[in-house]
Structure 1
Amino acid sequence: MKLDILQENLAKGLIIVGRTISTRAQLPILSNVLLATDQGRLRFSATNLETGINFWAGAKIIEKGEITVPAKTLAEFVTSLPAEKVSLETKENSLKISCGAYQADLVGLSSKEFPAIPSAKQKPSLTVSDLAAAVPQVAFAAAQDESRPVLAGVLVSFTDQGLQLVATDGYRLSVKKINGIKNSFKETKLPKNLIIPGWALTEVVRIIGGGEEVKPVGL
């Protein structure tokens, strides 16, 4: 793999996917971030086996390829670089990073060991502003004790009218309905009810931010 990317785009991608990386990962590969060329862009992938994030950033791809490297070490080095062009080049299982007078070599692991992150297929039209407003209105009611995963999650129900989000910690209950989604869920093979960790939905909102535009949200 060989490519050029702006320092700010590289740092942004590492910060976003780094939110799912555990500092106490039992498997070494889970402490790494996967960097891979993907249709003219650079894809960042990270997972803790419960939640996975893919993020794409624009880059000048010279040679295709992929590698996994320690996420924390890479992020610390990239954030210390000046806001200039950064060159990435892989040689076997090592990544060479060059930016002006700065250079570093990181030893990584084969991308074949990295867990696959499934892609979403069902994509109803949902406004970013609706999702960003709905999640905080219900996630606060979810239990903070992760020993009770059912109560620590948000129940997401798919209906013909849209989505319904429900959360409770056993003492309080919050319900939010999002109507007007164009796609019907009748044909999907997904369960009609799913429990998603409250912290995971909160992270999604932090990543997508606000706005009024309609973006495809895969489910």
Structure 2
Amino acid sequence: MKLTCLQENLKRGLATVSHAVAGKSTLPVLSNVLLATDGGRLKLAATNLDVGITHWIGAQVLEEGAITVPAKLLADVVGGLPNDRVTLTLDSRTQTVKVECARFTSNIKGIEADEFPTIPTVSDREPTVSLAPSALREAIDQVAFAAASDDSRPVLAGVLVRLRDNRATFAAADGFRLATRVIQLPEPIDQPQEFIVPAKSLIELSRIAADSEGNISMTITPGGSQALFHSDNTELVSRLIDGKFPDFERIIPGQYLTRSVLDTAELAKAVKLASYFANSSQNVVKLTIEPGGELGPGRVVISSNAAEVGDNTGEIDGMIHGEGGQIALNVKYLADALAAIKTAQVALETQTTQSPGVFKPVGQEGYVHIVMPMSIR
């Protein structure tokens, strides 16, 4: 193998695939990145067996070949080189890659490419659905963080993706909160599909979507065990989670007694102030909703109290429809919900102190975020 490419392209490509490199593994080759010539381009690939990322960059290929080299060492070396042309030359006898750029030369010992696991590619499959990168990224960013961070219930560590008619629904829940986002598809789906993708894999896909200009296609392997995502120059393959996702639609309240329309940034600021005290008191923040009179707006009082530290109270005005009331929420979950809402105003729908708080962006259809209540003492 011998080829030349631009340092900035190689650096960016290594950064893209590095998120799939195994941190600690009994297989040394999983700590490596695959370098292979492929149709006049350089293919970079990494996998930890749960997720695999493949990225292609433009290169001038002089000799075909493939090798795997330690991912972190190669990324560090390439990152330290000047912004110039890089030449990679493989000595197949010693499995060593010579990296040359300007007046710098490094030799990196690798492992044969044959030992690297095969990562499925999209090339020979018809995509199930194709999504605009901006819409896909927004949906992932609004939902994936609500998945469970541990694997005690594997299905809750994933995001349900439901493709039906002309809609794609993304849903995640960890037992204390639920986030759902619906995206309209350009054309209806032939066959309805439902699968659970690990939240970590979708977060990687969101990073890839940020650099993608063309649509991202989604394909499920024939056995239904893996999902493949394809963008301009990058492919991500992820294992799917077996199991049945909870019936999340039953959790979403169909009605409310009070609807408060509030300024998103003002509420987020008040919640952040309250969090400094709530963090010392089981993360409880209390929202007291008071309807306005005929002349003035209503208001929401945000309060937190920690016996050892002190207390905090903040007030914001809002349009309150209904009878008002109180609800106590986990301050971290409340802050996360507000951070996911990008509209200027947010609607909070409530019923009783024992019912969940339902957050919806005002002016954007398709997103619902539910936070379960905490007991008010």
Higher relative contact order (CA 8 A, sep 6+): 1
Query: Match of 1:47?
Result: 47
**Secondary structure of residue in 2 paired with 1:115:** coil
AA in 2 matched with 1:18: S
Aligned residue runs from structure 1 range 1-219, under 5 A: 1-92=1-92, 93-120=95-122, 121-123=125-127, 124-182=129-187, 184-186=189-191, 192-209=193-210, 214-219=214-219
Deviation, 1:89, is 0.7
Partner Cα distance (1:179, 1:129) in 2:
13
AA in 2 matched with 1:203: E
Q: Which runs of 5+ in 2 are unaligned?
A: 220-377
Partner Cα distance (1:192, 1:159) in 2:
7
AA in 2 matched with 1:104: S
- Structure 1 residues 82 and 210, CA gap change in structure 2 (3 angstroms): closer
Give the number of aligned pairs: 214
Cα offsets for 1:22-42 (capped at 9, x unmatched): 221221010000011111111
Does the aligned pair in 2 maintain the 1:126–1:214 contact within 8 Å?
no
Does the aligned pair in 1 maintain the 2:143–2:172 contact within 8 Å?
yes
Does the aligned pair in 2 maintain the 1:125–1:214 contact within 8 Å?
no
Partner Cα distance (1:146, 1:76) in 2:
32
Deviation, 1:102, is 0.7
Deviation, 1:113, is 0.8
- Structure 1 residues 19 and 210, CA gap change in structure 2 (3 angstroms): closer
- Structure 1 residues 166 and 127, CA gap change in structure 2 (3 angstroms): same
User: Which deviates the most, 68-77 or 149-158?
Assistant: 149-158
Cα offsets for 1:121-147 (capped at 9, x unmatched): 242331111101111111121111134
Cα offsets for 1:42-69 (capped at 9, x unmatched): 1110000000000011111111111111
**Secondary structure of residue in 1 paired with 2:135:** helix
**Secondary structure of residue in 2 paired with 1:21:** coil
Deviation, 1:192, is 2.1
- Structure 1 residues 87 and 210, CA gap change in structure 2 (3 angstroms): closer
AA in 1 matched with 2:145: F
Write out the 4+ residue segments of structure 1 that deviate beyond 4 Å after TM superposition. none
Partner Cα distance (2:118, 2:188) in 1:
27
Q: What's the RMSD between the two structures over aligned residues?
A: 1.7
Does the aligned pair in 1 maintain the 2:134–2:209 contact within 8 Å?
no
**Secondary structure of residue in 1 paired with 2:99:** strand
Larger Rg: 2
Deviation, 1:210, is 6.6
Does the aligned pair in 2 maintain the 1:158–1:193 contact within 8 Å?
yes
Partner Cα distance (2:137, 2:161) in 1:
15
**Secondary structure of residue in 1 paired with 2:19:** helix
Percent identity over paired residues: 44
User: Which deviates the most, 202-211 or 34-43?
Assistant: 202-211
Partner Cα distance (2:172, 2:47) in 1:
24
**Scaled by the length of structure 2, what TM-score is found?**
0.54
Partner Cα distance (2:78, 2:47) in 1:
20
**Secondary structure of residue in 1 paired with 2:165:** coil
User: Which deviates the most, 164-173 or 119-128?
Assistant: 119-128
AA in 2 matched with 1:114: F
**Secondary structure of residue in 2 paired with 1:150:** helix
Partner Cα distance (2:155, 2:179) in 1:
15
Partner Cα distance (1:204, 1:10) in 2:
20
**Secondary structure of residue in 1 paired with 2:81:** coil
